[in-house]
Amino acid sequence: MTRNRLSRRDFLASAASAATAAALVPAPALAQGAARVVVIGGGFAGASAARAIKKADPRIAVTLVEASRTFTACPFSNLVIGGLRELKAQQFGYDKVAADGIQIAFATATRVDPQARNVTLEGGTTLAYDRLVVAPGIDLRWDGLPGYNEAAAGKMPHAWKAGEQTLLLRSQLEAMQDGGVVVMSAPANPFRCPPGPYERASLIANYLKTRKPKSKLILLDAKDAFSKQRLFQNAWKELYPDHLEWVALSKGGKVTSVDLAEMTLVTDFARHKAAVANVIPPQKAGRIAEVAGVADATGWCPIDATTFESKRAPNIHVLGDAIIAGAMPKSAFSANAQAKVCAAAIVKLLAGQPPSQPRLINTCYSVVAPNYGITVAGVYQPVDGVLTDVQGAGGVSPVDAPRSTRAQEALFAEGWFNAITSEVFG
C-alpha cells in the first residue's frame, strides 16, 4: 500500500478543516482547555475510536493520524483474490470522518514521547495529547521466515494487507496456466484474522474449480488446528475435493524457508514448487507500537482489559490487531467493538470518572463459496484482567446446518461488511 508523505499543503489543508471545526466549539470550552486525543491509525480500530470519542463528547479535540488517504479493507479482500469482487468495493476515504469535526493528519507518525505526551509526525510536526490511541494494525515480520522479505513479496505476495498485494495475487492466479499448482502457507498463532487463510484457500479453490479445473491448491500450515476447522473441512470435502489439500503441522505442513529463485516453499519434509505462491508470514503489531514502547517482547501489545490502556505506558490506549486481547480474535469486528469500549473509557477518564466494566461481542464471517457463509461469534468480559469468553455464549455455526443457513450467513456477511464500514467510514 502506498504511504503518502505529509506535504506542507496536506497538513495546512487538515489544519484549515480543523479551524472550521474549532470555530463550532464555543470559545469558553477552548479557553478551559479542551481535552486532546490523538489517534494513530485510521483502520477499523482507529477510525472507530476517533468517531466514537467525538460522538460521545464533541468538546474533545480529536486528531486522527493516518498515512494513507484511502483505506483498503482486509475483510472480504479474499473475494477480490477469488475474482468475486472488485478492490474498489474495499476502499474508503476519510471525508465523513473529517466531517464529524475530527482533524485528520495524513502523515506517518514517527515518534511518541509518553512523558511529554506528544506524537511527532514525519516532517517534524508534533501533536500534544492528553490520551493517545495507538491502532496500527499489523506489520509483517520480514525476519520471521528465511528467504521471505519485502522483495520476495513482489513475487510471492502475502496479500495480508489489502491493496496492491491483493491485486497482485489475483492477477497471478488469472495469468496461471490451467494445471498450475498454487501453494499457500499459513503461520502459527497469533496472526491477523484467524479464519482468513482458510477462507482464502476456499475462494482460491473455488476460482480453480470454475476457471482452472486442472489446477489445485496446497495449503501448508504451521498449525494442527484452526478457526472454524470442522466447518471449513466439511465444506472442502463437499465443494473442493480435487482442488484443495490442507497439510497440517503434524503432516509436515510448516514452511521453514522460501526459495524465491525456484518459486518453492520448503518444509522439513518436502519442497513445494509453485506456479503461484501465497506466503502469509508471521506478524507483529504495527511499527509505531514498538516505537511508542507499548509492544512487548512478543511483538504484540499488552493492555488493560477494561480500558485498553497499555500496560507499558500510561495514557496510551492500544486497539485492534496489535493487542493481546485474551479470547478476542484479531478481527475487524473486534477492533471496532474494542474501539467503542475504549472511547467510552477515555471520555470517562478525561472527565475524572471511573470507567465502566465492558462487555464486547465479536462475529467473524467467512465466505467459503458464493452463497456459502460460516461464522464464529463470542461475547467477552474482563475476568482477572483478561478478556474472557462469557460462558455459555459464542461458538461456530452448526456443523449440520442446511445449505439455506449457509446462504443466509453469506447474505448476513455482506450486510455486516456494509454496516461496519458505514459506521467506521460512512
Partner 1 sequence: MSKARTLLGVVMLIAPGAAVLAASPEPPAGASSCTGCHAAGLGVDTAVPRLVGRSAAEIVSQMQAFKTGQKQSTVMDRIAKGFTDAEVQAIADWYAQQK
Q: Does 418 bind partner 1 (CB under 8 A)?
A: yes
Whether the Cβ atoms of residue 360 and residue 379 lie closer than 8 Å to each other: yes
The 3-state DSSP composition of the chain as helix, strand, coil percent (nearest 5) reads 35, 25, 40
* Interface map 347-376 toward partner 1 (x if CB under 8 A): xx--xxxx-xxxxxxxx-----------x-
Residues in region 62-81 near partner 1 by CB under 8 A: none
When asked if residue 310 is in the footprint of partner 1 (CB under 8 A), the reply is no
Asked if 408 interacts with partner 1 (CB under 8 A), we say: yes
58 binds partner 1 (CB under 8 A): yes
Amino acid identity, residue 129?
Answer: Y
Q: Quickly count helices (H) and strands (E) in the chain.
A: 11, 25
Three cell numbers at 313? Answer: 505506558
Site pattern 161..200 for partner 1 (x: CB under 8 A): ----------------------------------------
Closer CB to partner 1, 32 or 126, in the complex: 32
Sole residue written with cell 482464502: 200
Contact 265, 185 (CB under 8 A): yes
* 307 binds partner 1, rule: CB under 8 A: no
Which pairing describes strands 216-221 and 181-186: parallel, antiparallel, or unpaired? parallel
The yes or no reply on residue 397 touching partner 1 (CB under 8 A) is yes
Q: Is residue 122 a contact point for partner 1 (CB under 8 A)?
A: no
Angle, CA 108 vertex, CA 102 and CA 109 arms, to 5°: 80
Q: Pick from 21, 38, 42, 57: which binds partner 1 (CB under 8 A)?
A: 57
Instruction: Say which DSSP state 161 is in.
Output: S
Options 153-161, 173-181, 308-316, 332-340: segment touching partner 1 (CB under 8 A):
332-340
Amino acid, res. 180:
G
Q: Which of 13, 22, 29, 89 binds partner 1 (CB under 8 A)?
A: 29
For the chain, what's the residue count?
426
State how far the alpha carbon of 392 is from the alpha carbons of 19, 201, 378, in Å. Answer: 50, 31, 10
Residues that bind partner 1 (CB under 8 A): 25-29, 32, 52, 55-59, 333, 336-337, 340-341, 344, 347-348, 351-354, 356-363, 375, 377-379, 381, 390, 392-395, 397, 405, 408-409, 411-412, 414-416, 418-420, 422-423, 426
